[in-house]
Amino acid sequence: MMKIRTSMAVIAATALPLLTACGATPPAKSEQAAEITLWSFVKASDTVVKTFNESRKGFRVKLETVPSGPEYYSKLSNAVKAGTVPDVALVEFMRLPEVVSTGQLEDLTASAGPLVAQRFPAQVRNLVELGQKTWAVPRDVGPMMLYYRKDFFAKHKIDVPATWEEYREAAGKAKKADPRARAGVFWNNDASVLTGLAWQAGAKWFRAEGGAWRVDLDGEPSRKVAAYWESLVKDDLVRPLPALMDAFWQSVKAGETVAYVCASWCAGGLQATVPDQKGKWALAPLPTWDGKPASGMYGGSAFGVPKGAKHAAQAMEFIKWITTDPEGMKAWVSSGTSSMFPADPALVSVVKQSFKTDYFGGQDIYATGATSYDSVLPGWTWGPAMGTTFTSIIDSLGKMQNGSPLSGALTGAETATVSDMKSRGLSAQS
Amino acid sequence: MIDRRRGAAILFVAPFLLCFVAVTIVPLAYAAALSLFTEKASGLGFGPAETVFAGVDNYVRALSDPAFRGGFLIIAAYCLVYLPLMVGGALVLALLLDSAAAKMKRLLQLALFLPHAVPGLIAAIIWVYLYTPGLSPIVALLEWDFLASDHVLLSVVNIATWEWIGYNVIIFYAALQAVPREILEAATVDGARGLRLAFAIKVPMIRAAVVMAGLFTVIGAIQLFTEPKIINRAASTVSSSWTPNMYALTAAFERHDYGLAAAASMLIALLGAVLSFAVTRATARRSSR
Amino acid sequence: MTLALDRTRTRRLALPSVLLSRIGVNAALALAAVYTLMPLLWLVMSATKDIDDLFGTNGFAPGRRFELAANLKRLFAASDGIYLRWLVNTVVYAVVGAAVAAFLCVLAGYAFDKLAVPYKEKLFGFVLLGVLVPATATALPLYLVAAEIGLVNTFWGAFLPGLVFPFGVYLGRVFSAASVPGEVLEAVRVDGAGEWRAFWSVAFPMLRPGFVTIFLFQLTHIWNSFFLPLVMLSDQRLFPVNLGLYTWNSTAFSQGHPEDYLLAITGSLIAVVPLVITFVVLQRHWKAGMTAGALK
């Protein structure tokens, strides 16, 4: 009874403001506003905003949680078209050139250029500085590593692979040791890990050269990577599964996935989703082609100011705080479950303190993360039509079942990307 | 007197029409206009883009894209499986419900209808789970990979059938209930029973409802979107432009090509209009004969 | 009621067919019911499990632990009880929206049937064209138009589009033709009643089953709508439940918070319940409405 009455009161309390808020258009036109808006879908955004609002005077931030995925970018581009943008918006690195080249972000060169140049290493600066302008400030990066079941590898005397050749052997041994177990996963509905692996092999899919885009998805390094993973799938050494969805977690839980390639931020998800394998997992640097440390990136995000935002100066102040201020960075990871790796190397120590490493048997995973981050190959640029590029690759992944080669998927994606860029009026050549 | 009634007629229709124009016609006109323009950037694209008049360019691009045309083939194949299954299945279930032998009719109707009350998004979560090998008890039982490229069409048909069959059953059943008792009695006296009573007497009596359901099934099929989109998230065997509507949406939101998206949408609406015009025309002629 | 009983009785006497044996008929119907109910069983079962059992046990069977209470508690506590707010929003969008929409449809359908609307058939055909326009085709332009007049991310931006239901006008006309006899109207008019009174006190009561049917059609439509609210709203406090669940579902695994997946599942179950109850409670009305609608 008590409960029912409380919920009725809650209904009344929530319905009232809803009804009175009807039709109110946001007035705020003055430069210095009392409140600015943030669009974000990454976890802990609410904590960060709360901490900011409590610690600062002058203005508040209002968080609007948006869904992640392609829908988010369509929402952002709609908002820019309609002039209903927030003041700060989250943009993933891989989508940044697309968002910038469709005119959705303010140029932050004057306000953030020096900061970005001073705080961030080249391999990530490259992702937010396009056409000699700075468009966003990096928050976190996703250097790729190898996740593996330490107990399984030890029990069956499988060495942690340092090269891709050794990885193939390890995968074979794992399968032999337990016919249900696979030491790898091939994401069959996602192209970003494949892209990161091509990045690691030295591919440069997009280059901005002399006012024109050079697109090269099926160059030698990418072909090598495609052929390698295709053969792993064909020999049933890795299992095709949808990326980080229920089927994948089921296989981890059942002990059928004993190793997989993922980014630094995957650690948090692993320990939250499969808590009963605590102490069994470990992280190793990504295997490489020639034995020299090298990695690519999977994920990672930055914050920018959408075109037409009304409070750019305050937005910049907030962005600075959440990306490069130790207090801001602490707020991101205060829940203790996020394994986010800060893009600003100076803040790694801040983040490290808050992440409990007992899931990984006390391993200093941030140290592994840091070496992986250092080894991310510089010079990679994302393309201005990643939506098309990824869609095209993923569509072809579906056809792999019928025997189309993976390298063909890359060639097809290159053609689709170039023609899409050209139809938008960009200068592009393959 | 006449004038007053005319005035009332206008007043009665006006509120709906005003909303209709605001929510459907104005945006549609906007989409039509949008389909004639395209955005052009230059060089690396980091400068501002300008909107230029493209004429029928977007329409030509859509029609000459094999992915867009392929979508219509998928729809045709889909209709070929889905239409008989849905209309036939619903009809059979309605006839069974209407037969004297059926028990617990109200409960059964409700059970069949229930999926329609499940929002598409929630249906998505459920079916993706049930289609996923390793998770789904069904996949293990049937040894059937729902997500294999040769099977996805049927898997999509299945979701749509699950969501809509109860709805059509209720419509057909309601129509059957309304068939005048005298006619059925007369037929029984003439010796019609069981299947013959069902198909020779009852079905023709509710032909209007069946045609209507068929028409809406086809219109729905042309706009097919939610179900394949659901599967697309979990398995790439359904491509991002599997149906024409998915093509339009991908064009708008993955490629930011609103002109192309608008043109594709206009073409889909046009096909829908032509088809349903043809169907209503054909049935009108048959019934007037 | 007696009529229905009578009918069953006469048919039962008339149909002792071998082929349509009682067992066969009921088995077929039961099979169909199993097909429609199984996936819902999964939803119910999953809402009672914790994340471990969700991946570790058969989807159609109960888990090792019964966690429904814990799941519900977490659902209503998440983000300061935002879920309840979403439910309230959805009820406002869907119930109020569908009621207004159904009334407009009945009013217009009645006018198309009984009154001298100028350019009647042309106008009616124009309305029917609206049935054919894919919602995806208008979502983006609708958003841009809404932005022009400042309705984006407001209650009205998500509410107003729900008021239009062209097919409902068609149904309204059919219902009016089937259940409002012209003579009755003439009689009322002779008595000197205005058109509004003739509609409101004579025709509308006769059209009530039709109204309920159209209302329910539109109710499910709004309850289901996802894409338009997605582009229209960014303030979580304005979300309908569908969009909120999508947000949880889309970030659950990618952000490493699998407990959100459970929230989405439990939330789905709770979101389905009101709709099911509505259909059960209004069963008699909408079935009557569909009968009238199917007559034409």
In sequence order, what DSSP letters do the residues of A284-306 get, joined into one string?
EEPPBSSSS--B-EEEEEEEE-B
In this prediction, residue A90 has a pLDDT band, given cuts at 50, 70 and 90, of very high
* pLDDT for position A31: 59
Q: pLDDT band for position B120 (50/70/90)?
A: confident
| pLDDT tens readout for residues B174-212 | 888 878 888 888 877 777 667 777 777 888 888 888 887
- Tell me the helix, strand and coil percentages in chain B, rounded to 5: 75, 5, 20
Task: Report the sign of the C-alpha dihedral through residues B238, B244, B250, B253, in that order.
Answer: negative
Q: Taking a C-beta distance cutoff of 8 angstroms, is the pair C235, C245 a contact?
A: no
Q: Closest approach of chain B CAs to the CA of A347, in angstroms? A: 31
Q: How far, in Å, CA of A72 to CA of C86, rounded?
A: 20
Task: Give per-residue pLDDT as tens, A220-242.
Answer: 999 999 999 999 999 999 998 88
Handedness of CA A245, A387, A64, A268 (dihedral sign): positive
Please, which pLDDT band fits residue C3 given cuts at 50, 70 and 90? Answer: very low
If you average pLDDT over residues A388-400, what whole number do you get?
A: 86
Instruction: Name the residue of chain C whose CA is nearest to B15's CA.
Output: C104
A250 — contact with chain C (CB < 8 Å)? yes
What distance in Å separates the CA atoms of residue B93 and residue B164, rounded to the nearest whole number? 13
pLDDT for res C205: 92
B56 touches chain A (CB under 8 A): no
Confidence bin at B2 (pLDDT 50/70/90): low
Residue A185 CB coordination number (10 Å)? 24
CA angle C173, C179, C185 (to 5 degrees): 90
8 A C-beta contact, residue A344 and residue A119:
yes
Question: What integer pLDDT is reported at residue A55 of this predicted model?
Answer: 85
For residue C60, the model assigns a pLDDT of 87
Is C294 in contact with B209 (Cβ distance < 8 A)? Answer: yes
Residue C292 has, within 13 A of its CA and on its CB side, a CA count of 26
Mutation test of the interface with chain A: which of B53, B256, B258, B260, choosing the one with the most A Cβ atoms within 10 A?
A: B256
> Do B20 and B161 share a domain, yes or no?
no
Nearest to C237 by CA among A6, A36, A65: A65
H or E segment to which residue A134 belongs: strand A133-134
Inter-CA distances, C173 with A92, A248, B137, C105, C110, Å: 52, 52, 47, 9, 5
Q: How far apart are CA B50 and CA A215, in angstroms?
A: 24
A265 touches chain C (CB under 8 A): yes
The mean per-residue pLDDT over the stretch A194-204 comes to: 96
Per-residue model confidence as pLDDT tens digits over A42-54: 888 989 999 999 9
- Asked whether residue A13 carries a pLDDT value surpassing 70, the answer given is no
Mean of pLDDT values over B125-141: 79
In whole angstroms, give the CA distance from residue B86 to residue B84: 6
Top residue of B3, B58, B122 to mutate, by most chain C CBs within 10 Å, is: B122
Question: What number of C-beta contacts closer than 8 Å exist between A and C?
Answer: 122
Q: A20 or B66: whose pLDDT is higher?
A: B66
Range of lowest pLDDT (A15-24, A217-226, A331-340):
A15-24
Q: Considering only A8-17, B8-17, C196-205, which range has the smallest mean pLDDT?
A: A8-17
CATH class of C75-295: mainly alpha
pLDDT of residue B257: 83
Each residue's pLDDT tens digit, C264-281: 889 999 988 888 888 788
Sign of torsion, CA C64 C69 C72 C77?
A: negative
> Who among A74, A82, A253 is closest to C147 (CB)?
A82
CA of C109: how far to CAs of C114, C121, C178, C180, C286, in Å? Answer: 9, 12, 12, 12, 17
Question: What are the sequence ranges of the domains in chain A?
Answer: 30-141+298-354, 142-297+376-429
Residue A378 Cα to chain centre, angstroms:
17
Integer CA distances (angstroms), B1 to B8, B144, C196, in order = 11, 70, 14
CB A302 within 8 A of CB A93: yes
Task: Give the residue, A17 or A360, on which the prediction is more confident.
Answer: A360
Q: For the domain made up of A142-297+376-429, give the CATH fold.
A: D-Maltodextrin-Binding Protein; domain 2 (3.40.190)
Residues B151 and B200 in one domain: yes
Residue C130 contacts residue B27 (beta carbons within 8 Å): no
Establish if A8 touches chain C: CB-CB under 8 angstroms.
no
The answer to whether residues A144 and A374 touch, using CB atoms and an 8 Å cutoff, is no
C111 in reach of chain B (CB within 8 A): yes
Contact status, residue C46 vs residue C249, Cβ threshold 8 Å = no
Average pLDDT of the residues in A86-94: 96
Highest mean pLDDT out of A307-311, B258-262, B267-271, C118-122: A307-311
pLDDT of residue B6: 78
Q: What is the 3-state secondary structure (H, E, C) of B76-143?
A: HHHHHHHHHHHHHHHHHHHHHHHCCCCCCHHHHHHHHHHHHHCCHHHHHHHHHHHHCCCCCHHHHHHC
By C-alpha distance, the chain C residue nearest B131 is C39
Of C32, C58, C117, the CB nearest to B13: C117
Interface with chain A: mutation pick from C75, C96, C234, highest number of A CBs within 10 Å: C234
CB-CB contact of A147 with A287 (8 Å): no
CATH for A30-141+298-354? Answer: 3.40.190.10
Q: Tell me, what's the pLDDT at B284?
A: 64
C-chain residue closest to A270, CA distance? C256
Residue B229's pLDDT is what? 79
Domain of residue B38, residue span: 2-53
Model confidence pLDDT, tens digit, residues A259-280: 999 999 899 889 888 888 999 9
pLDDT of residue A87: 96
Asked if the C-beta of B223 comes within 8 angstroms of chain A's C-beta atoms, the answer is no
Tokens read off for B182:
């005298």
Q: Please judge whether A66 and C234 are an interchain contact, meaning their C-beta atoms are less than 8 angstroms apart.
A: yes
For residue B219, the chain C residues in CB contact (below 8 A) are 131-132
> How far apart, in whole angstroms, are the C-alpha atoms of residue B62 and residue B60?
5
Nearest to C185 by CA among C204, C210, C206, C203: C203
Q: Which residue has the higher pLDDT, C65 or B184?
A: C65
- C136 part of contact set with chain A, CB < 8 Å: no
Closest residue in C to A86 (Cα–Cα): C234
Q: Which of A68, A71, A272 sits opposite C258 (nearest CB)?
A: A272
Shared domain for B145 and B283, answered yes or no, is yes
**Chain B residues near residue C132 by CB distance under 8 angstroms:** 219, 269, 272-273, 276
Q: Do B245 and C136 touch (CB under 8 A)?
A: yes
Distance CA B232, CA B238 (A): 5
Same fold: A30-141+298-354 with A142-297+376-429: yes
Q: How far is CA C72 from the centre of its chain?
A: 24
* B107 plus B159 within the same structural domain: yes
Domain extents in chain C = 18-66, 75-295
Higher-scoring residue by pLDDT: A29, B20: B20
Distance (Å, rounded) from C-alpha C295 to C-alpha C292?
Answer: 5
Residue A26 has pLDDT above 90, yes or no: no
Whether C154 and A83 lie within 8 Å, measured CB to CB: no
Which residue is associated with the tokens 């059970």?
Answer: B111
- For helices C283-295 and C166-179, what crossing angle results, to 10°? 80
CA distance B40 to chain A (A): 5
Contact yes or no for B119 and C226 at CB 8 A: yes
Q: How many domains does chain B have?
A: 2
Q: Which of C53, C87, C115, C226 to mutate to test the interface with B (most CBs of B within 10 A)?
A: C115
Q: Tell me which residue of C180, C158, C62 sits closest to C112, measured CA to CA.
A: C180
Could you give the C-alpha distances from C259 to A216, A275, B11, in angstroms and in order?
40, 12, 53
The upper half-sphere exposure of residue C6, i.e. CA atoms within 13 Å in the direction of its Cβ, equals 7
Task: List, in order, residues 6 or more apart from A352 with CB less than 8 Å away.
Answer: A364, A366
Position C136 scores a pLDDT of 64
**Could you tell me if the ipTM is greater than 0.85?**
no
Q: What is the pLDDT of residue B91?
A: 93
Please count the residues of chain C: 296
Note whether A101 contacts B46, CB cutoff 8 Å: yes
**CA C287 – CA C296 distance, rounded (Å):** 15
SS (H, E, C) B173-242: HHHHHCCCHHHHHHHHHCCCCHHHHHHHHHHHHCHHHHHHHHHHHHHHHHCCCHHHHHHHHHCCCCCCCC
* Contacts with B46 from chain A: Cβ below 8 Å: 100-101, 130-131, 133
Query: Are B40 and B80 part of one and the same domain?
Result: no
Strands A35-40, A60-65: pairing is parallel
Say how far apart CA C21 and CA C218 lie, in whole Å.
Answer: 39
Our measurement of the distance from residue C245's CA atom to the centroid of its chain's CA atoms, rounded to an integer in Å, reads: 18
Of the pLDDT bands very low, low, confident and very high (cuts 50, 70, 90), residue A353 is: confident
Q: How many CA atoms lie within 13 A of A157 on its CB side?
A: 0
Is C118's CB within 8 Å of B10's CB?
yes
Q: Taking 60 as the threshold, does the pLDDT of residue B287 lie above it? A: no
Contact A406, A187 (CB under 8 A): no
Extract the tokens encoding C264: 């989405």
Does residue B269 share a domain with residue B205? yes
DSSP state of A132: T
Domain shared by B188 and B248, yes or no: yes
A196 or C147, which is more confident: A196
Question: Which chain A residue has its CA at the smallest distance from B42's CA?
Answer: A426
The single-letter code of the amino acid at A62 is K
Q: State the pLDDT at residue B76.
A: 92
Phi, psi of A80 (to 5 degrees): -65, -45
Sequence-ordered list of residues with C-beta below 8 angstroms from that of B181, at least 6 positions apart, any chain: C7, C10
Contacts of A139 in chain C (CB under 8 A): none
**CB pair distance less than 8 Å for C130 and B20:** yes
pLDDT at C292: 57
* β-strand partners of A37: A62
Are B43 and A427 in contact (CB < 8 Å)? yes
Q: What is the pLDDT of residue A50?
A: 93
Residue B285: pLDDT band with limits 50, 70, 90: low
Give the tokens for residue C79: 């983000």
- In this predicted structure, the answer to whether residue B231 has a pLDDT above a threshold of 60 is yes
Residues B49 and B117 in one domain: no
Show residues of chain B in contact with A131, CB under 8 Å: 44, 46
Place of tokens 């792999």: A400
Picking from B254, B258, B260 by the largest number of A CB atoms within 10 A of its own CB, the best residue to mutate is B254
CB-based burial, A214-238: b 16+ in 10 Å, e otherwise: bbbbbbebbbbbbebbbebbeeebb
pLDDT single digits (tens) C157-198: 999 999 999 889 988 998 898 888 988 888 888 888 888 888
| C15·B110 Cβ contact <8 A | no
pTM across the whole model: 0.80
> pLDDT tens for residues B151-163?
889 999 999 999 9
Element (H, E) at C29: helix C22-46
User: Which of the other chains make 3 or more beta carbon contacts under 8 angstroms with chain C?
Assistant: A, B
Q: How confident is the model at residue A21 (pLDDT cuts 50, 70, 90)?
A: very low
Shortest alpha-carbon distance between residue C79 and chain A (Å) = 9
Q: What is the pLDDT of residues C212-265, one digit of tens each?
A: 889 988 988 898 887 788 878 888 889 999 888 888 877 776 666 777 888 888
**Which residue of A lies nearest to B48 if distances are taken between CA atoms?**
A103
Encoded tokens for B77? 């194949």
Residue C295 carries which side chain, given as an amino acid letter? Answer: L
pLDDT digits (tens, 9 = 90+) for C20-61: 577 888 889 999 999 999 999 999 999 999 888 887 788 888
